[in-house]
Structure formats: C-alpha cells, structure tokens
Structure 1
Amino acid sequence: MTTAPHADRDPFAVMLRGAFLPTLAVGPVAVVVAAVVAGGRAALGAALGFVIALAFFALGLLVMRRLGGALDPLRFLASALAVFMGQMIFLLVVIMALKDASWLDGTAFGATVLAVALVWQVFQVIAFVRSRRLVFDAPQDPGQDEGSAR
C-alpha cells in the first residue's frame, strides 16, 4: 500500500463516486421501509425525497468541481459554504412546499431527505480523506532553489 498522495486524481470525481454509490443504496431501503410501515403514499414520499436529495447533492458537487480551479482557496471555501447553504435552503423550501401535499407522506419524504443528506455528507468526507490530497505545498529541495537562481 502506498502512502503517496494521489495528485493525478480529481478530488471531486473521487468524492462524487464515494458519496453517490453508498447513497444510492439508501433509496430502495427507504422506499421499502416506508411502504411496509405506512403504505403507498409513504413509499411515494420516500422515493421523491430520495430523488430530490440525491440530485441536489450531486449537482452541488458538480458545481463545486466547475469552480474548483478558478478560485483561490479562501474564495473556494466561501463558495463551497454558499453552495452547501443553498442546497439546505432549497431542500427546506421543497419540504415546506410539499408539507401539505395529500398525495404523499411528508414524514417519509422528510426522513428520507434527512437520511440521504447524512449518508451523502459522511461518505463524501470519507472519500475526500481517503483520496489523500495534499493540503499544503510540498517542500522544495534546497538544491533546486540554488540551481534556478543562477
């Protein structure tokens, strides 16, 4: 096993793959549990919550991937926090808009969105940590500086 960081891998692709696959398993489980516990409306609510949450988290990561190389680290962090806050606010607006919908179970919808959000965030962080990205500039060989000055 190597301890060298993976400088050639895109961290956003690693995080997308690392978060998407485990989160994909949440949907069928949530739909089945909702159908068994509360019936068809709950299953519909769970399925809708799963699709909406998965789409927004994946799109948020794709937006961050697009901004990745264009910003300095401080602005990138600010934009990452803005994207995350925008995702949370939009999910809250969707939940509030659907809270009185008679065609779905709001509890199953909300619980599934929460489960997807938690699983996505946990596995996104795990994938990033496992990608072994350098978070500082690699130290330069002192001999390199002398050779370039001449």
Structure 2
Amino acid sequence: MSDSTKAYAAPARPATTPLTAMLRTAAIPTILVGPIALVIAALTGGGKGVLGSFLGYAVTLTFFALGMIVMIRFATVRQPLIFMATALAVFFGQLIFLLLVILLLQDADWLDGRAFGLTALVVALVWQAFSILGYLRARRPVYDTL
C-alpha cells in the first residue's frame, strides 16, 4: 500500500481543552472564597449577612460553573459560528438568570443585600481572574491539526 492510499488517522485530541483547564483552575479558588466571605458576613452582618453572603456565593458559583460546563459540552463543535452562537446563548441565558434572581430578591428583608452583592462581586472577580489564568496556562494548539 502506497503512502497516498493509506487511511489518514487524525491525531488524538488533547484530554484537557482550554475550557476544562479554565473550569478546573477557576473552581478551586472560587470554592475557597465562600467560607471566607461567610465568616466576614457573620462578623459584620449577623444572620442576615450570612444568609445574604451564602446566597450570593451559591448563585454566582452556580451561574459561572453551569455556563462553563455548557461551553465544554459544545467545545467539540468544529464550526466556529456554531460555537460562538452557543457562547452568546449561554451568556444571554446567564444574564436572564441573574436578572431573575435580582428581581426575586430585590424586596427580600430576610437577607442582607449588601452582603449578597459584595459576595457575588468577589466570587465573580475571583472566578474571572482564575479562569483567565487557566486559559493562559492551558496547552492550545497553534494550528489546526486536521
């Protein structure tokens, strides 16, 4: 069999994609931020502060983790336009989810809104910073292998 008639075998895809590296790198520090925020909220805001902080932590962590998991599921799509459409749909879904949470909790007097907002902000900043770090450290092919 000549070289021109041999079946082409595509190289194996790396086990870790930039998105999985981003998820792994961002999840651990973000999970560690939660207990610190809860302790600070307990010291400064009491029970309402702890409840607000916990809810802000849970909503924000869920918000970012689910979005990244959905993107990982669609990472195998070979067409860039479909992948970008999926990314925009995930982002739009996250905005709607966050808007619904804010609308549901805007008149909640059983939690501290300041603790909720500050915890959500800190968790979001930690997630974004470490997901960028994960992306920068991920092994990405410079050219398409197919």
1:135–1:53 distance in 2 versus 1, CA, 3 Å: farther
Which of 37, 40, 48 is 2:47 aligned to? 40
Please say if residues 95 and 110 of structure 1, whose CA atoms lie closer than 8 Å, have aligned partners that are also in contact: no
CA distance in 2, matches of 1:92, 1:86: 10
Whichever structure has more helix as a proportion of its residues is 1
Shift of 1:22: 0.7
Question: 1:43-87: CA deviations, max 9, x gaps?
Answer: 111011111111121111111111111251232123213212321
Residue number in structure 1 paired with 2:34: 27
Report percent identity of matched pairs. Answer: 52
Contact 2:17 2:140 (8 Å CA) reproduced: no
Alignment counterpart, residue 86 of structure 2, candidates 79, 88, 98: 79
Look up the match of 1:95: 102
Greater length-normalized contact order (CA 8 Å, ≥ 6 residues apart):
2
Return the TM-score normalized by structure 1.
0.79
Runs of 4+ in structure 1 off by over 3 angstroms are: none
Q: Tell me the equivalent position of 1:123.
A: 130
Q: CA deviation at 1:16?
A: 1.3
SS at structure 2 position matched to 1:100: coil
CA distance 1:91–1:135, change in 2 (3 Å): farther
Paired residue for 1:106, among 113, 131, 134?
113
Normalised TM-score (structure 2)? 0.81
Aligned mates of 2:85, 2:121 — CA distance in 1: 24
**Paired positions, count:** 134
Q: What code does the residue aligned with 1:74 have?
A: L
RMSD: 2.0
